[in-house]
Amino acid sequence: MPAPGSTPPTCLQVALPVPVPRLFDYLPPEGQSLTAIQAGQRIRVPFGNRELLGVVAGTGAAEPGVELRRAHALPDAEPVFTGELLESLRWLTRYTHAPAGEVFATALPASLRAGGPLPDTHAWAWLLTEAGITGLAGLRRNTRPRRLAELLEGGPCDEDRLERELDGWRGAARSLARRGFAERIATPAFAHAPAPQPGPLPSAEQQAAITAIAAADSFSPALLEGVTGSGKTEVYLHAIADCLARGRQALVLVPEIGLTPQTLARFRARLGVPVHALHSGLTDNERARVWTAAWRGEARVIVGTRSAVFTPLPDAGLIVVDEEHDGSYKQQDGIRYHARDFALVRGKALGVPVLLGSATPSLETLHNALAGRFAHLRLRRRAGEARPPAVRILDVRKRPLQAGLAPETLEMIGAALRDGGQVLVFKNRRGYAPVLLCHDCGWSAQCPRCSTPAQGTPLTVHAGGGKLVCHHCGHRQTRPLACPDCASLALQPQGIGTERLEELLAERFADWPVLRIDRGTTQRRDGLAKLLDELGDRPGVLVGTQILAKGHDLPNLTRVVVVGVDEGLFSSDFRAGEKLAQLLVQVAGRAGRAQRPGEVWWQTHHPDHRLLHDLINGGYDTFARDELVQRAAAGFPPSTYLAMLRAEAQQVDTAGAFLRAAKAILHEAGAGAMQAAVQLHGPVTAPMARRAGLYRMQLVLSASTRPVLHALLDAALPAIHALPEARRTRWSLDVDPVDLY
Ligand code: ADP
Ligand code: ZN
Ligand code: ZN
């Protein structure tokens, strides 16, 4: 909208997916008038000698004397981004300081981003015509057309069902259609859902949470903090049913590994409406279909992973973020958004409740709840008969370990199996061993692309010891037969990975199934479900990484062992303690979900560590409050606000030169009051100094308030973009970085 008295708009301002934070001016496509085009519409424009798909950001006055190019075409009659979503994406552009075109592109499903048409969201069904009803009896018996006509006598039948029930139905349908006996009709997609099944009667705590959420008729953020198995999902289901009853749409975000067929089946059974899933296992077309169905208001319940936070919600009524502490909500490249935080922004703009659920809330969310900015709903007890597991710290100092397991642990596993239970052995390291070491000279196998003279990145030994793989860049090589430095044959795998644990356990407990569950064995989305289905309720051992920390219900799981608790205890990352505590509590939560009591063992060389004691004595709550005090004292989030400039280059000097120049600009831009409120740390070598052949450096900004951080970035970024050094290095800005590795 031009301000009164200003010059009328003469061109379109288009956001393009190019790494420059500005808009580009174009004339409207041939024969179209500027006023008929709306912000949020997709548009195809010439760019250099290519064509790009962008999004109309608005209109403006062209710079005098510049000859503008004409846009090619508008693929849709209407904007793909309207109202709240358009505004929220503009907010995200400002918050991430990223190019608007890249933000819009990130928010679109891949096929729409590539320029594909908005897909049909209806399904097809067949029905008998009047002529078909009267003519049916005249059809030859026991032919496909006759059988199809008989099937359709019961009413219209969708093609999915025909596919299941009648071989060769397509030919039969064509034959009926030729005679005018049947016709094809469009029906709303996925419109056929069974009647909802009732759930368990809510407990008093659950009911209190359900009532509190139902009472909110505008934006109201709430933390639902409930121990694992306390029935948080039941609370979501009630809140969603309530939202549906008010005629509104509900969006549910779940972590990547939480979106299991089990979860979806539970939602579908309980809600009695179609539940649309959005996750990385879908084809581009399927994703675009769900997105478009939501955009048209047809999809009423959408359950999806991180990028589902961009789902259009014209009739929004509720947003749920399950396991809100989960690391997969933060996008680590491109537009570095946090789906939980963006869900809150959208909830505010939409004026709907946002429910954040977790047994182990992030310190950011807990901080907000304790400060009264979020309602704090709690479920302190496990639902039904289930009792909390007993946790035991096992001091393994001076103990003889086999594949990392103490004798007591092995005995305990045997006893649990003989008792008919299942045991989970958790180790957060894939592969056979994390290091291959020469016992004679000390040489170890390191990744040639991720190591520097000062810092080696070991290659992980895989496949029973025969292969070496880098877990950071994917580099692979065969294991050398002899030490390349001293020719010794004494090369030994050091340390424990899941493969090595599996090897030992399978040998030791040969009478029971031992299943390894990690990214190596569950490449396919349904891989995990298949493995667990095979095991069923039989006694057996599961060995795995954090894939096992949540998702599937394992009612017969009675014992959990965590091997290698110590790895997170002394990390330089200020979030390491939080992540470890969350993992320990989540993994423990897998035990004793049903009637059988559970027991959890943490093996450690540091039995007196504060984190373990906090967790044992006061639970996650005590740990988290303690940690919040320490974060505040050390000046870390959530008491302060961080942004990180990261530079990667072939030469370490190139990355450093860029960050030094950027720092000088930040200094200048921050002169005065801002300087006191923002601290610049670095440039320093990143904790992981080199990765996939590139040296990595970082400069961290830490501010006492968000507005001053953003004001400084706004003031400095144009000059940083214009630096000649910026073209020689791969650099990025991450606001609220989660991993400073
Ligand atoms: P969470 O999401 O907190 O891990 P769930 O909602 O999955 O917990 O509930 C854990 C188990 O307890 C499920 O099997 C669920 O059916 C059951 N459950 C939940 N609420 C109740 C209740 N009020 N009464 C009986 N069983 C319940
Ligand atoms: Zn050697
Ligand atoms: Zn590597």
Are the C-beta atoms of residues 471 and 520 closer than 8 Å to each other?
no
| Residue 190 reports pLDDT greater than 60 | no
How far apart, in whole angstroms, are the C-alpha atoms of residue 413 and residue 644? 45
For residue 597, the model assigns a pLDDT of: 78
Residue 525 belongs to what H/E stretch? none
Q: Which atom of ligand 1 is nearest to the CA of 230?
A: 3
Ligand whose nearest atom lies closest to the CA of 385? 1
Quick check: CB of 536 below 6 Å from ligand 1?
no
Quick check: CB of 231 below 6 Å from ligand 1?
yes
Select from 52, 53, 59 the least CA-distant residue to 80. 53
| Residue 594 reports pLDDT greater than 70 | no
Per residue, the 3-state secondary structure of 197-211, as one string, reads CCCCCCCHHHHHHHH
How far apart, in whole angstroms, are the C-alpha atoms of residue 228 and residue 205? 14
Are the C-beta atoms of residues 287 and 355 closer than 8 Å to each other?
no
Nearest CA, atom 23, ligand 1: 202
CATH class of 641-735: alpha beta
Quick check: CB of 551 below 6 Å from ligand 1?
no
Distance 488 CA to ligand 2 centre (A): 5
Mean pLDDT of 183-208: 81
Ligand whose nearest atom lies closest to the CA of 456? 3
Indicate the range of 64-68, 306-310, 540-544 predicted with least confidence. 64-68
How far apart, in whole angstroms, are the C-alpha atoms of residue 64 and residue 11? 11
Q: Which atom of ligand 1 is nearest to the CA of 234?
A: 6
pLDDT tens per residue, range 506-530: 999 999 999 988 776 666 556 677 7
Percent with pLDDT over 90 in the chain: 68
Domain pair 11-107 / 204-379, same fold: no
| Residue 683 reports pLDDT greater than 90 | yes
Nearest CA, atom 4, ligand 1: 229
Quick check: CB of 409 below 6 Å from ligand 1?
no
User: What superfamily does domain 11-107 belong to in CATH?
Assistant: PriA, 3(prime) DNA-binding domain (3.40.1440.60)
Testing ligand 1's pocket by substitution, the residue of 205, 210, 225, 234 carrying the most ligand atoms inside 8 A of its CB is 234
| Residue 2 reports pLDDT greater than 50 | no
Distance 290 CA to ligand 1 centre (A): 28
For residue 262, the model assigns a pLDDT of: 79
Q: Which atom of ligand 1 is nearest to the CA of 386?
A: 12
Quick check: CB of 226 below 6 Å from ligand 1?
yes
Dihedral over Cα of 497, 499, 503, 505: its sign: positive
Quick check: CB of 592 below 6 Å from ligand 1?
no
How far apart, in whole angstroms, are the C-alpha atoms of residue 300 and residue 276? 8
Testing ligand 1's pocket by substitution, the residue of 197, 233, 235, 325 carrying the most ligand atoms inside 8 A of its CB is 233
Considering the entire predicted model, what is its pTM? 0.90
pLDDT band at 344; cut points 50, 70, 90: very high
- Determine the residue type at 382: R
Distance 404 CA to ligand 3 centre (A): 25
Give the SS3 label for residue 7: coil
User: What superfamily does domain 204-379 belong to in CATH?
Assistant: P-loop containing nucleotide triphosphate hydrolases (3.40.50.300)
pLDDT band at 337; cut points 50, 70, 90: very high
pLDDT tens per residue, range 365-380: 999 999 999 999 999 9
| Residue 711 reports pLDDT greater than 80 | yes
113-117, 150-154, 397-401, range with greatest mean pLDDT: 113-117
- 43: β partners: 54
Mean pLDDT of 487-491: 94
Give the SS3 label for residue 40: coil
Quick check: CB of 38 below 6 Å from ligand 1?
no
Quick check: CB of 590 below 6 Å from ligand 1?
no
For residue 524, the model assigns a pLDDT of: 58
| Residue 62 reports pLDDT greater than 90 | no
Ligand whose nearest atom lies closest to the CA of 592? 1
| Residue 603 reports pLDDT greater than 90 | yes
| Residue 163 reports pLDDT greater than 90 | no
Task: Read off the DSSP letter of residue 382.
Answer: -
Q: Look at 296 and 124; give whichever has higher pLDDT.
A: 296
Are the C-beta atoms of residues 315 and 259 closer than 8 Å to each other?
no
What is the total residue count of the chain? 741
Ligand whose nearest atom lies closest to the CA of 485? 2
- 481: β partners: none
| Residue 478 reports pLDDT greater than 80 | yes
Indicate the range of 116-120, 188-192, 685-689, 710-714 predicted with least confidence. 188-192
| Residue 505 reports pLDDT greater than 50 | yes
Are the C-beta atoms of residues 267 and 275 closer than 8 Å to each other?
yes
Q: How much is the mean pLDDT over the chain?
A: 90
- Give the domain 390-429+497-634 fold: Rossmann fold (3.40.50)
Quick check: CB of 200 below 6 Å from ligand 1?
yes
For residue 463, the model assigns a pLDDT of: 81
Q: Look at 66 and 737; give whichever has higher pLDDT.
A: 737
* Rounded alpha-carbon distances, angstroms, from residue 254 to 22, 233, 379, 632: 33, 11, 19, 29
pLDDT band at 604; cut points 50, 70, 90: very high
pLDDT tens per residue, range 559-589: 999 997 777 777 778 899 999 999 999 888 8
Check whether the bond before 638 is cis (ω within 30° of 0). yes
Q: Which segments within 68-149 are labelled E, that is strand?
A: 122-128
pLDDT band at 148; cut points 50, 70, 90: very high
What are the boundaries of each domain within the chain?
A: 11-107, 123-187, 204-379, 390-429+497-634, 641-735
Q: Which residues are annotated as a binding site for Zn(2+)?
A: 438, 441, 447, 450, 470, 473, 483, 486
Percent with pLDDT over 70 in the chain: 95
* SS percent in the chain: helix, strand, coil, step 5: 35, 25, 40
For residue 551, the model assigns a pLDDT of: 59
